[in-house]
Amino acid sequence: TDHMLIIGASQAGVQLAVSLRGVGYEGEITLLGDENHRPYQRPALSKEFLQGTIDKEKLIFRSNEFWENEGIRLIKDERIESITRADDGSGVAHARSGAQFPFTRLALAVGARARKLDLPGAELPGVLTLRNADDALELKSVVDDASDVVVIGGGFIGLEAASSLHGMGKRVTLLEHGPRLVGRAVGPETADYFLEAHRQRGLDIRLNVRLAGFHADAETGRVAEVELEDGKRIPAQIVLVGIGVIPNTELAEALGLEINNGIVVDEYAIASDGTTIAVGDVANIPNPVPGAPADERIRLESVNNAIEHAKVAAYSLVGRHEEYVGIPWFWSNQADLKLQIAGLNLGYDQTVIRQDPTRDKFTALYYRDGRIIAADCINSPVDFMAVRGALTRGEQIPADEAGDIDVPLKSLLR
Ligand code: FAD
């Protein structure tokens, strides 16, 4: 009989298993992951869960009964180390424990892992990353004993965690290597807005920082200071490293699949061997935006992508090929700053800013060849809805009128 093995039981793997039943797949499904938790949602790990306003049960995707009722075999705490395969695509996945998991069809939903710093002292206790529930539990277990936190990296995870920790009464210093926050995901205007807004809210943010390493407390052996290249030292009982992720491509590589910043898949979520599925953060996909240049590829790290990509993969697995097209969206909550991004700003050549005088709200609209392609909306859900709607329906928002904060974007849709 048909037996689908999904390696990776998180946002993408869970959605793939659920959607497979949804599209009528009747074979066996094994959803397998290496974490010792029932599958859970990650976004709150740097937000409400870290702050302690929601507990772990709330993050769990589905009940045990759900998996039983759907006939989906859920396996926790098994790490796949190698895969052997026959010519017809079927094979066996071998776990570190010695357990073996046979399949007729394979899906890789193995996501990404936190990038680590390669610096003296980076292995000290108290130098942490935040990718999964165990990371978050470790961070929570030491947070009460810390007064000073250094966050390394001004990306979304770094800014979210820094905001949460500051809200919990910690002195937070955020060190960013680059000249601005958030890297390429947003334009410089949005990055500047975040810089000013976070500084106003009490984060000590430093840009263009070069790190030298970490020093331990002589008594506890735990991290106590961060040293910069210029010799300055910053006290920190916790260092949270948020410098991006590395896609988990090792299994795919060993299978001989094409890799390029992730597992390269086509518009149906199928890898280069024509049979293996790769979904979510680990997949390098053709730009899903309708009308995007055919050769443009991207790896997206978002809940929206994991879900929509997995739905497409489920169709592929039952032989109903539906192209992955859609308008990506993303959110990030940093204290009271609620960012929503609609579309992808890849290749933009014009930015229009909608700025309210109080600076409580901010929207950056991105244009490419005169057509709107994306927007960053901070505390502006109405702008977000308008842009997302426009992109979805292929409507335009004229750039020369969009900057007037007194004119609702909705009224400009053409
Ligand atoms: P992952 O979630 O990385 O899951 C992959 C799973 O596979 C993991 O459980 C991993 O342990 C397992 N695995 C890997 N290798 C093996 C193996 N060899 N054997 C067995 N199992 C294996 N997105 C948003 O849109 N908005 C947000 O606000 C937001 N906040 C976030 C906050 C945090 C702290 C984090 C970490 C992420 C956040 N994201 C957010 C991103 C979002 O959570 C990811 O895009 C999403 O989880 C990707 O899902 P995935 O299933 O592709 O990969």
Q: Where are the domains of the chain?
A: 3-113+246-317, 116-243, 336-412
Contact 102, 116 (CB under 8 A): no
Which CATH number applies to 336-412?
Answer: 3.30.390.30
Which residue is closest in CA terms to ligand 1's atom 26? 331
Distance of CA 201 to the CA centre of its chain: 25
Distance 390 CA to ligand 1 centre (A): 29
215: helix, strand or coil? strand
pLDDT for 113 = 98
In this structure, what token pair is assigned to residue 197? 């807004």
Contact 82, 254 (CB under 8 A): yes
Q: Which contiguous run of DSSP H or E holds residue 65?
A: helix 64-70
Distance 203 CA to ligand 1 centre (A): 27
Q: Please tell me what DSSP assigns to residue 92.
A: E
Distance 110 CA to ligand 1 centre (A): 8
Distance 87 CA to ligand 1 centre (A): 31
pLDDT for 360 = 87
pLDDT for 184 = 80
User: What residues are in contact with ligand 1 under a 6 Å CB criterion?
Assistant: 7-13, 32-35, 42-43, 45-46, 79-80, 109-112, 130-131, 157, 248, 251, 280-282, 301-304, 306, 330-332
Give me the sign of the Cα torsion angle 267, 291, 372, 196: positive
Beta carbons within 8 Å of 334's beta carbon, 6+ residues apart: 159, 160, 162, 163, 194, 198
Our mutation pick for probing the ligand 1 site, out of 5, 7, 11, counting the most ligand atoms within 8 A of Cβ, is 11
Please tell us whether the domain made up of 3-113+246-317 is placed in CATH 3.50.50.60. yes
Domains 116-243 and 336-412 share a fold: no
Question: Mean pLDDT of residues grouped by 10 in the chain (414 residues)?
Answer: 97 98 97 98 98 95 96 98 95 98 98 98 98 98 97 98 98 98 93 97 98 98 98 98 98 98 98 97 97 93 98 97 96 97 96 91 97 97 98 97 96 95
Rounded to two decimals, what is the model's pTM? 0.97
As for the ipTM of the complex, it is 0.99
pLDDT for 278 = 98
Q: Which atom of ligand 1 is nearest to the CA of 279?
A: 52
Distance 274 CA to ligand 1 centre (A): 25
CA 161 to each of CA 149, 173, 335: distance values in angstroms, whole numbers, following the listed order: 10, 11, 9
pLDDT for 327 = 97
Which residue is closest in CA terms to ligand 1's atom 47? 11
Name the region of 92 (left: φ>0; alpha: ψ -120 to 50; beta: rest): beta
Which residue is closest in CA terms to ligand 1's atom 48? 281
Residue for token digits 């998991």?
Answer: 101
What is the architecture, at CATH level 2, of domain 116-243?
3-Layer(bba) Sandwich (3.50)
